[in-house]
Amino acid sequence: MNALLPGEPFDENAKPMTAASERPPAVEVLSAEKVFSNGTRGLAPIDLSIADGEFLTLIGPSGCGKSTLLKLIANLLEPSDGRLLWWRGDFAQVGQEGRHLAFVFQEPTLMPWARVEANVRLPLELADMPRAKADPLVKDAIARVGLSAFARHYPRQLSGGMKMRASIARALVTSPNLLLMDEPFGALDEFTRNKLDDDLVRLWWERKLTTIFVTHSIYEAVFLSTRIIVMAANPGRIFRTMTIDQPQPRDQGFRDSPKFAAYCRELSTWLAEASLPSTGAAS
């Protein structure tokens, strides 16, 4: 499956807005587990419901199954047992209804020989969208990530943060209903990461785009998320859940607040507990 499937441009007026509680969950993970072909139990049965419009972050020690869970949600992997629903339907049905998801990986994976605008246009081209229809969408997606002045640049002319912005624009150009991000800013310095986090919060807030994000950073998780799932390993499972019930969209003021520090302290303690060998060895 190609995770970057094109769709119609986001149109707030297309359907009357319904309250979050009335909308079906974006994703339901129903006792889904994953045993790999070599016998490794990547995930114990997981039950998780992700509300439409939520910003959910998965965090936990290495090997606790964050990427595996994200790939199940992306339908890039099949569960060994249990199942998943997307907006109360199976994956094929969701595609037929014009809903789709986009996946942003840790590496920006841009085509080095193509300019930013061509890289961003790629998923629309793959869907045979005519240039006249694609071009305004490409322009808008590039503007949303603040790269308008660099649309004609090649990837080698961009910094690491700018490459990641281009990669996010390529995901947004398809107007996804669900955005999956696997440690997208993990390779960036902290200043650049904070800047991208600020912009991601704004993008998420503008579009109310359901986002599932994987990170190793406590600060990033607390800053971005409406809910954080702390996972533990051997086998991968949900250890604890933290709700970050703070005003949106967040900015530096939240980072500087005592509440932010308190959330980070608590999350740090939970992560330490989730990483204990005794916790990791539990079934």
Ligand X SMILES: Nc1ncnc2c1ncn2[C@@H]1O[C@H](COP(=O)(O)OP(=O)(O)OP(=O)(O)O)[C@@H](O)[C@H]1O
Q: Which residues bind ligand X (CB under 6 A)?
A: 36, 38, 40, 42, 60, 62-68, 236
Q: 3-state class of 64 per DSSP?
A: coil
Task: Give the whole-angstrom CA distance, residue 174 versus residue 73.
Answer: 18
Complex with ligand X: residue 173 or 214, whichever CB lies closer: 214
CB of 151 to ligand X, least distance (A): 32
How many CA atoms does the CB half-sphere of 108 hold within 13 Å? 24
CB of 210 or CB of 234, closer to ligand X: 234
CB of 40 to ligand X, least distance (A): 4
Residue 107 vs 140, nearer CB to ligand X? 107
Q: Write the secondary structure of 112-132 as one string of H (helix), E (strand) and C (coil).
A: CCCCHHHHHHHHHHHCCCCHH
Q: In the numeric block, which tokens belong to residue 234?
A: 């051997």
Smallest separation (angstroms) from ligand X to the CB of 70: 8
> What is the distance between the alpha carbons of residues 170 and 118, in angstroms, rounded to a whole number?
9
Among candidate residues 25, 32, 45, the one with its CA nearest the CA of residue 78:
32
For residue 23, the 8-state DSSP code is S
Q: What minimum distance in Å lies between the beta carbon of 86 and ligand X? A: 20
Minimum CB distance to ligand X smaller for 32 or for 169:
32
Min CB(71)–ligand X separation in Å: 8
**What letter does residue 44 receive in the DSSP assignment?**
E
Give 246 or 279: the residue with its C-beta nearer to ligand X: 279
